[in-house]
Structure 1
Amino acid sequence: MTAHFQTARAHSFNSAAAQYAANRPSYPTALLDAVENMAGRPLAGARVADVGAGTGIATALLQARGADVLAVEPGDGMAAQFRRTLPDVPIVRGDGNHLPLATASLDFLTYAQSWHWTDPARSVPEALRVLRAGGALALWWNTSALDVPWIEAQMDRIQRHFDIDEDLVLNGNGTPTALADTAGRLDFARRRVRWSRRVPVDTHLANIGSHSIFLVHGEESAAAFLTEERRHLLSVFPDGAVEETYDVELLLATCP
């Protein structure tokens, strides 16, 4: 993947922020339970920064859990949508490679669906800088459950249409384990949480259409795929309600 293509994909969400906010899946309660269990402390009352917060899907869950949460987001469109969605949550502009946060100021640093846009050679030292001793870096991704036959078939169709590999479809830029810490400075524990949601076929199509691989290939290419995909989906779900199944891949490391 070229640096130009990677940059284009990272910025593509800003033009589709409302679509992203309306149709992307959230995360299950069991995920936040796992974060607390692995970190050995509750989110309630904890000082948390949610980096690459986007439209605030994960930030809202952290706030509801009782965390004192601050959002960090680099994109204009996503930040504007965030402010509409969560006007009472502070948001600052920045990214994981250059965190606009004070040293040793956080109990948790979270990346929901966003760590793969960072350079671990820079984002890992930044995480270690801003976390307090014993603080936790938590990274997670909703990934498609490929053992579900219709999801595997859809993944194959996406790969063929856009001529890309599976990792780019699953989470944007590689596998969570490989992305975690190329510098080897943190010991990550891993947990997988399966969950599902039932949504109208239009919501499902808008969800997958909000992924960067669709956004950067242009409206004509994306529309052609989504039109044909509707036919495939209605053959599997004739009532028009799609059962999406996800495996949330969670990686968590504690700051020394």
Structure 2
Amino acid sequence: MTQPVQARSFDAVAAAYDAHRPSYPPALFDAVEELAGLSLAGARVADVGAGTGLGTARLYERGARVTAVEPGDGMAGQFRRSLPDVPLVRGDGNNLPLRTGSMDLITYAQAWHWTDPARSVPEARRVLRRGGALALWWNDGDPSVDWLVDQENRMRVFFGAEIPAVPSHRARFRATLPDGLDFRTRQVPWSRRVPIDAHIANLATHSDFLIGDPAAVRGFFDRERTSLEALFPGGEVEEAYLMSLAVAHP
């Protein structure tokens, strides 16, 4: 499967994505303001790869004059239902449909890895005003929480990937960042409590599962639910996240 196929796989599950994917904590946006050297209130922000608007909504709540950029039909449709008052344009980070020098900040909420940095970095430079900032962030399971590490390892086995001998969250994050930019980074821990079924539904919106064999994926989730019910007899799990943020002035 190609990366574009994975990226567009979300369109078929846009409503479930919007309902079950985790949002972002206020501390993340405090860190964005600090590292970018700007206030979100009144800032002109492009949220690229906005999806259903989970990150866009938080930027809008902080007073940003935010424009969302999203290529997928299903995701854009859900975005418009969720955030009808926020401007949305169709496109992606490799060819931004935005004016040169029009933005104070460009954000990618778990979407940078779908771009080609050879194209998306020059596009960010073009669209940002002088002194503007590029902010990239990801929600990942906290590698200090044993049950989440065990679950990630089961997923890696399912997808035929190697299990790291030592958790290397920071190294993997750094490897995702494009070369040639001077990034300042921050990690923001946070968590949320959800029913086991909601946790499974969140996992099911990830692209590797979306493009997998449906019967095999159902079998994996059945086994995972049984494992989690034994581990958490109360029926709820606390999803612990470690947000990785990188901000540069390209």
Q: What TM-score, normalized by structure 1, do the two folds share? A: 0.93
The match for 1:143 among 137, 140, 144 is: 140
The aligned residue for residue 70 of structure 2 is 73
| Unaligned residue ranges in structure 2 (runs of 5+) | none
The answer as to whether partners of 1:44 and 1:67 remain within 8 angstroms in 2 is yes
Deviations, residues 231-256 of structure 1 (Å, cap 9, x unaligned): 1111111101110000100000013x
The one-letter amino acid of 2:109's match is A
> Residue 103 and residue 165 in structure 1: after superposition, are their counterparts in 2 closer, same or farther (change >3 A)?
farther
Give the Cα separation in 2 of the matches to 1:203 and 1:139: 26
The one-letter amino acid of 1:193's match is V
The aligned residue for residue 246 of structure 1 is 241
The match for 1:10 among 7, 10, 15 is: 7
Give the Cα separation in 1 of the matches to 2:34 and 2:156: 36
Cα drift, residue 178 of structure 1: 2.0
The answer as to whether partners of 2:187 and 2:245 remain within 8 angstroms in 1 is yes
Alignment partner of 1:133 is 2:136? no
The one-letter amino acid of 1:140's match is W
Give the Cα separation in 2 of the matches to 1:34 and 1:117: 23
The one-letter amino acid of 1:31's match is L
The one-letter amino acid of 1:17's match is A
Give the Cα separation in 2 of the matches to 1:165 and 1:122: 30
The match for 2:211 among 207, 216, 237 is: 216
Cα drift, residue 7 of structure 1: 2.1
Cα drift, residue 43 of structure 1: 0.3
Give the Cα separation in 2 of the matches to 1:28 and 1:64: 12
Q: What TM-score, normalized by structure 2, do the two folds share? A: 0.95
Cα drift, residue 134 of structure 1: 1.1
Give the Cα separation in 1 of the matches to 2:89 and 2:230: 45
The one-letter amino acid of 2:73's match is D
**Percent of pairs with identical residues:** 58
> Residue 48 and residue 34 in structure 1: after superposition, are their counterparts in 2 closer, same or farther (change >3 A)?
same
The one-letter amino acid of 2:197's match is D
- Total equivalences in the alignment: 245
The answer as to whether partners of 1:120 and 1:179 remain within 8 angstroms in 2 is no
The one-letter amino acid of 2:2's match is F
The answer as to whether partners of 1:56 and 1:86 remain within 8 angstroms in 2 is yes
Give the Cα separation in 1 of the matches to 2:191 and 2:105: 26
The one-letter amino acid of 1:192's match is Q
Cα drift, residue 164 of structure 1: 2.8
Structure 1 residues 15-34: aligned runs within 5 Å: 15-34=12-31
SS at match of 2:2: helix
SS at match of 2:229: helix
Deviations, residues 173-196 of structure 1 (Å, cap 9, x unaligned): x933222223x1x21111000000
The one-letter amino acid of 1:13's match is F
| Unaligned residue ranges in structure 1 (runs of 5+) | none
SS at match of 2:203: helix
Deviations, residues 119-165 of structure 1 (Å, cap 9, x unaligned): 11110000000001111100000011122010011011111112135
The aligned residue for residue 234 of structure 1 is 229
Alignment partner of 1:161 is 2:158? yes
Give the Cα separation in 1 of the matches to 2:99 and 2:41: 21
Give the Cα separation in 1 of the matches to 2:8 and 2:213: 14
Give the Cα separation in 2 of the matches to 1:137 and 1:80: 26
The one-letter amino acid of 1:96's match is G
Give the Cα separation in 2 of the matches to 1:175 and 1:123: 20
Runs of 4+ in 1 over 4 A off after TM superposition: none
> Residue 5 and residue 221 in structure 1: after superposition, are their counterparts in 2 closer, same or farther (change >3 A)?
farther
SS at match of 1:97: coil
